[in-house]
Amino acid sequence: MATTKAREDIKNDLKTLKEDLKTGAREETERLKEKAAEAQQRLKAKSAEAEAQVREKAEVLREQARGYYDQARLRGREYYDDASERFDEAQRYITERVQERPVQSTAIALGVGVVLGLLLAGRRR
């Protein structure tokens, strides 16, 4: 009878141990789930923070690019205005010289035309 009692005690102990292991496994699983949820929340927070920083940097770069574009546009306009003014001056200068010496200007234009004509005609042969 003692062996039967010992067997029953061992069975009960094993049953208790099995239930304790199940309970411990459930508790550990819950604890791990909580840790995973916390880690996920931290990851989301860090991700949102990084995204905000990237957006901020992108905005700063966008503003710098706008500034560079505006500067380039102003410089281009200045260069265009300067070139246009110089072209107008050159045109006025040529017009004045032609009006001062029309015969000489016509002879020079005729000479340049003949030279260009000869050069272009020589290429065709």
Residue 125: predicted pLDDT: 56
Residue type, 96: E
Q: Where are the domains of the chain?
A: 2-124
Q: Which residues contact 97 (CB under 8 A, 6 or more apart)?
A: 105
Which residue is it, tokens 């791990």?
32
Residue 124: predicted pLDDT: 63
122: confidence class by pLDDT, cuts 50, 70, 90: confident
Residue type, 119: L
Residue-wise pLDDT tens digits, 28-70? 999 999 999 999 999 999 999 999 999 999 999 999 999 999 9
User: Is this prediction's pTM over 0.85?
Assistant: no
